Amino acid sequence: MTLPRTLERPLRSTAPGHPSTSGVLGRRWRAASERISRPQGWEKAPALTGEAGAFSARWGRLFDALASTLGAGVLAALSACGESGSSPPGAGPADAAIEPPTGAGGAAAAGGAAGRAAEAGAASGGSPGEAPVTPVLPDGGLGLPAGDAGAAALVLRGVCWNPVPVGATHPEGLDYAGFAAVDIPLMRDAGFNVVRTYEPLTDRAVLDALWAAGIRVIDSVYPWGGADPQVVTERVRAVKDHPAILYYSLGNEWNYNGLYVGLSHDDALATLNLAARLVKLEDATHPLMTIYGELPSAETIAQMPDIDVWGINAYRGISFGDLFDAWGERSDKPLVVTEYGADAYNANLPGYDPESQAQAAAALTREILTRATAPAANGGGARVLGGTIFEWADEWWKDAAGSPSEQEVGGVAPGGGPYPDQTFNEEWWGLVDVQRAPRPAYESLRGVFAEFPSQ
């Protein structure tokens, strides 16, 4: 779990729907003084006042502007075809080492994506009362861009990537460009083919470097509920023609944290449904994911029809137990395990224990990939696409009682969690440490990936 220091930190839990949170890290979102009860559905927008009023008041006028917004997006995507990425102003030395890939694959995919997005927008008319936009599924179910021959068979060997340097905090200190030249080759050499982000990744030079390394991106375009959902339009427009983009994602364990602003489950769901519709109107080709803490109910799944792939964060020790079978009983949509693993500090000792972390990382990843590559399971049960292990590198800002310049032990034990101590020692989860020295878990995953066919 990655979130700003200034917001409330959620506990991870093995209990579906568990809403618990640990200590307050700073200011809390001031919720609306009144809420209007309306029927559940994507069009249900919470009645907000105060800090939220600036964007809440605009929601009623949102769809009047969708036609012009979509048109501008299509023109922008078409005009951008074939252009190479560039580093942002003030880019550091690490950016200079990133070489954009050659070839026209990205441009070829962009035209088709833009055309299908335009068709989807015209078909829906931008009306909130009509059926959700359904992505084109040329590969038989994943909704990936036409012409992307390898993606249809892609089994996700992924990792969560949130590079924050020592002394900095999230999200202000997040530095994709500054760490790309070091992190991407290490990820490539381990065998990862996907990264999952916690904030939008729109830096095209970084996307170029990932694509050149054979790594795709699950791009978080709406992580924080304090933002106007309309922000997803520009975030999607900025990257939808880039071949590194695999999925877009909305929220992270939002059933625990209320989108980090304390929204109720119903209001968070409604906000995400609005964001989902806007994503689909801008780009109806790439699949859209939302990320839930443990298993959602069948009712919650049904209330989010624009979601193509569900991401599940699950911490159940050294096995997932009945997770995949339980998912298959409530939905036929694809599943990705978007957080799993173990940290490298063992509260039972207490002390540093990278060997236990490596054991858990290997066992859990093998369990996911066995399910993802088994034709019988994918044909008759839950469709598991793979996973993104938590996480790539240590982050020292996470212990609210400590300093972002020092690594502390602080953790929580919510009654279920990672092997072997069921305690989330938040600053010790990296497969590599904060200086990018690989831990045994890095090598154990390289070995597991070698056991399975490469896509």
pLDDT at 413: 59
Encode pLDDT of 228-283 as tens digits: 999 999 999 999 999 999 999 999 999 999 999 999 999 999 999 999 999 999 99
Please report which confidence band the pLDDT of residue 414 belongs to, taking 50, 70 and 90 as the band edges. Answer: low
What is the residue extent of each domain of the chain?
151-450
Encode pLDDT of 218-242 as tens digits: 999 999 999 999 999 999 999 999 9
Measured CA to CA, the distance from residue 197 to residue 183 in angstroms comes to: 14
The pLDDT of residue 79 is above 80: no
Looking at the domain that runs over 151-450, which CATH code has it been given? Answer: 3.20.20.80
Rounded to two decimals, what is the model's pTM?
A: 0.71
42, 124, 128, 281, 295 from 121: Cα distances, Å: 17, 5, 12, 5, 31
Mean pLDDT of 192-207: 97
The pLDDT of residue 434 is above 60: yes
Q: How many C-beta atoms lie closer than 10 Å to residue 111's C-beta?
A: 16
Mean pLDDT of 9-22: 32
The pLDDT of residue 156 is above 60: yes
Measured CA to CA, the distance from residue 343 to residue 394 in angstroms comes to: 9
Mean pLDDT of 306-333: 95
Measured CA to CA, the distance from residue 295 to residue 313 in angstroms comes to: 8
Q: How many C-beta atoms lie closer than 10 Å to residue 199's C-beta?
A: 18
Measured CA to CA, the distance from residue 174 to residue 199 in angstroms comes to: 9
Q: Which of 59-63, 101-105, 442-446 has the lowest mean pLDDT?
A: 101-105
CA atoms within 13 A on the CB side of 232: 29
Encode pLDDT of 358-371 as tens digits: 999 999 999 999 99
The pLDDT of residue 290 is above 90: yes
Please report which confidence band the pLDDT of residue 7 belongs to, taking 50, 70 and 90 as the band edges. Answer: very low
Mean pLDDT of 81-109: 33
The pLDDT of residue 309 is above 80: yes
Furthest-apart CA pair in the chain: how many Å?
A: 61
Among residues 383, 407, 416, the alpha carbon closest in space to that of 313 is found at 416
Please report which confidence band the pLDDT of residue 353 belongs to, taking 50, 70 and 90 as the band edges. Answer: very high
pLDDT at 105: 32
pLDDT at 401: 87
pLDDT at 376: 52
pLDDT at 2: 52
